[in-house]
Amino acid sequence: MSDCIFCKIKDKEIPSVPIYEDDKIYVFRDADPQAPEHVLMIPKQHITGLDAVTAEDEPLLGYMLAKVREIAEQLEMTNGYRVVINNGEDGQQTVPHLHIHILGKRKLTWPPG
The catalytic residues are 99
Give the binding range for Zn ion (CB under 5 A) out of 12-20, 26-34, 69-77, 95-103. Answer: 95-103
Task: Based on the shown chain and the rule CB under 5 A, indicate whether residue 52 belongs to the binding site for Zn ion.
Answer: no
Binding-site partner at residue 65 among Zn ion, ligand 5GP, none, CB < 5 to 8 Å by type: none
Q: How far is the CB of 54 from ligand 5GP (least distance, A)?
A: 20
C-alpha distances out from residue 82 to 7, 47, 98, 111, Å: 24, 22, 17, 12
Strand partners, 39: 29, 102
Give the binding range for Zn ion (CB under 5 A) out of 4-12, 55-63, 64-72, 98-106. Answer: 4-12
Is 81:47 a contact under the CB 8 Å cutoff?
A: no
Binding region for ligand 5GP (CB under 6 A): 5, 9, 14, 16, 28-32, 40, 86, 92-95
Q: Which of 25, 67, 77, 97 binds Zn ion (CB under 5 A)?
A: 97
Long-range contacts of 82-87 (CB under 8 A, 24+ apart): 82/35, 82/108, 84/112, 85/49, 85/50, 87/49, 87/50, 87/51
Task: Based on the shown chain and the rule CB under 5 A, indicate whether residue 95 belongs to the binding site for Zn ion.
Answer: no
